[in-house]
Chain A
Amino acid sequence: DVKVTQSSRYLVKRTGEKVFLECVQDMDHENMFWYRQDPGLGLRLIYFSYDVKMKEKGDIPEGYSVSREKKERFSLILESASTNQTSMYLCASHKGRWLDQPQHFGDGTRLSIL
Chain B
Amino acid sequence: AQSVAQPEDQVNVAEGNPLTVKCTYSVSGNPYLFWYVQYPNRGLQFLLKYITGDNLVKGSYGFEAEFNKSQTSFHLKKPSALVSDSALYFCAVKSNTGKLIFGQGTTLQVKP
* Shortest Cβ distance from residue A103 to the other chain B in the assembled complex, whole angstroms: 7
A residues in contact with B41, CB < 8 Å: 9, 107-108
Residues 17-47 of B at the A interface (beta carbon under 8 Å) = 32, 34, 36, 41-46
| Interface residues of A, dominant DSSP | loop
Chain A, interface size category, equals 20 to 34
Assuming the A-B contacts A40-B104, A102-B34, are A48 and B44 also in contact, with contact meaning beta carbons closer than 8 angstroms in the complex?
A: no
Asked if A48 contacts B99 (CB within 8 A), the reply is: yes
Q: Mark A27-66, 1 if CB is under 8 A from B, else 0.
A: 0000000000000111111001000000000100000000
What chain A residues lie within 8 Å of B34 (beta carbons)?
A: 102
In the assembled complex, how far is the CB of residue A13 from the closest CB belonging to chain B, in whole angstroms?
19
Residues of B at under 8 Å CB distance from A? Answer: 4, 9, 32, 34, 36, 41-46, 49, 51, 90, 94, 98-100, 102-105
**Interface residues in chain A, defined as those with a beta carbon under 8 Å from any beta carbon in chain B:** 4, 9, 40-45, 48, 58, 90, 92, 97-100, 102-108
